[in-house]
Amino acid sequence: MRKVFPLILAGIILISVVIWWHYDSTVDVRITGIDAPRTLGVDTIRSNNMNEIKITIQNNETRPVEIKVETENAFVNAEGESVDTFIVFGYDGYRYTDYVSTQDKIKLEPGENELTLLLGYQVTGEQDVHIRIVNNEVVLDEDSFTVEVMPPEISVELDNEMIIQDELEIYNIDAYVLNSGMGRAEGVETTLSIIDQETGEVISSEIRSIVVPAHSKSAFSTWKDSPDGVIELSSGENSDESYMPVLAVAKGKTGDRYVVKLTAIWQDQIAEGVILVPYNNSEIGVELEVEL
């Protein structure tokens, strides 16, 4: 018993030491600055570095300290849930070359450390971002900031060009979805229809889901050398040309007129444009409806 008792006590001490060591919050590590944009466009993390924030952390210890950076609302998915994001160490101008998850530990050198963290939002609106520096489950420091996540602003554009081949008038239709907002529009459901002006019958139409980056525009079709729609008018027989890969195709006689309609829907935004073909190549109206 005399021999065992000291060993039991030694065990107690050791367990105490473990607890003391594990939950030691005397580690002097502080967030000294967060450099973050106040507005961002809705987007997932892409290959540009506009979604970055810089966190400056002062490690006042004389040794490196292992920490985890816990985040809330730094990355919010389409369901509005906060999920883990990335800490990046390398960016070559085109893509991130070196990064870890916020689930991973990182080591802070003594002195000032600067971390680059990525934000990403698949939902719009105000987001309260919370950053915690954690060492062995003890929060060493924490800070917050707010980001306003902006939506895309979509509109549409239609154009056409006529070429003559023998007795055929071929109208090549170009259709675009424009985005003048900060947010990226993913999955814009876009419909290009050719409608007989006289009967109102939809002769042909095509639906595509397209992506429109912020402050940019996207063509309706991804085919490089193809118009988005074709109307072929003939004074005699129409051609056998299928105009593939174009799906929105109408063939008629000289004198026929068609309404070409482009509709783009992203969440609660609907943009619609219409042109009459043939009609002096000019637009008869492009309307933008935003229902917020």
Partner 1 sequence: MRRTQGSTLRTIGLSLLIIGASLFALVSVACAFSEQGHTDDNDVKVIKNSSAPLFKMGFNFSAIIDHFQSFIHNERNDNASQLKDITQNGSQSKETDISRSFILNGKSDNVSQWIDVLENESETEDNRHHAAYMLGESGDSRAAIPFIKIIEDTEEEDPLRQSVTSYMGKVGNDKHTDMLIGLLDDELLDIPATTSMGDLGDEKAVGPLMDILANESQSENMRMAAARSLGQIGDERAVELLIECLDDDSPYLKSEVAWALGEIGDERAAEPLINMLDEEYEFTVTNSAEALNKLGISADEILIENLDDRDVTVRKNSIYALSSVGGQNTHSVLLEIAEDRTEDKDVRRAAISALGRSEDHDMIDPLTDIMEDENEKKDVRTAVPRALLNIDKDKAITILVEDLSIENMEVRASIVSSFRKLEEDRDKVPMVIEPIGYLLQNDEEWPVRKQAAIVLADIAGEDASGYLDLALNDEHHDVRSIAANKLVALADRNSTYPLIKALNNETNEYTRRYMTLALVQTNDSRAVPTLIQLMQDREEYLNVRMEATEGLGTIGNRTTSRSLMEILKNKDDSPEIRNTAAVSLGQIKDPAAIELLTKIADDEEEYPAIRQSAELSLEMIQGAKAS
Residues in 141-160 that interact with partner 1 by CB under 8 A:
157, 159
Give residue for tokens 């809330």. 72
Chosen residue from 28, 81, 84, 109 binding partner 1 by CB under 8 A? 109
Q: How far is the CB of 28 from partner 1 (least distance, A)?
A: 15
Q: How far is the CB of 260 from partner 1 (least distance, A)?
A: 16
Q: Is 15 helix (H, G, I), strand (E, B) or coil?
A: helix
Q: Binding residues for partner 1, how many (CB under 8 A)?
A: 73
Site residues for partner 1, window 70-99 (CB under 8 A)?
A: 87-90, 97-98
- Write the DSSP symbol of residue 50: G
Chosen residue from 213, 232, 257, 288 binding partner 1 by CB under 8 A? 213
Chosen residue from 29, 45, 108, 246 binding partner 1 by CB under 8 A? 108
How far is it between the farthest Cα atoms of the chain? 115
Torsion sign, CA atoms 60, 61, 63, 65: negative
Q: How far is the CB of 178 from partner 1 (least distance, A)?
A: 6
Q: Is 274 helix (H, G, I), strand (E, B) or coil?
A: strand
Nearer to partner 1, 161 or 287 (CB): 161
Nearer to partner 1, 34 or 247 (CB): 34
Q: Is 182 helix (H, G, I), strand (E, B) or coil?
A: coil
Cα distance between residue 18 and residue 20, in whole Å: 5
Torsion sign, CA atoms 104, 109, 111, 117: negative
x/- contact string, 223-252, with partner 1 (CB under 8 A)? Answer: -xx---------------------------
User: Is residue 126 near partner 1 by the rule CB under 8 A?
Assistant: no
Q: Is omega for the bond preceding 245 within 30 degrees of 0, making it cis?
A: yes
Q: How far is the CB of 113 from partner 1 (least distance, A)?
A: 6
Q: Is 227 helix (H, G, I), strand (E, B) or coil?
A: coil
Q: Is 255 helix (H, G, I), strand (E, B) or coil?
A: coil
Site residues for partner 1, window 30-49 (CB under 8 A)?
A: 35-38, 48-49
Q: How far is the CB of 150 from partner 1 (least distance, A)?
A: 11
Q: How far is the CB of 276 from partner 1 (least distance, A)?
A: 20
| Token representation of residue 251 | 């063939």
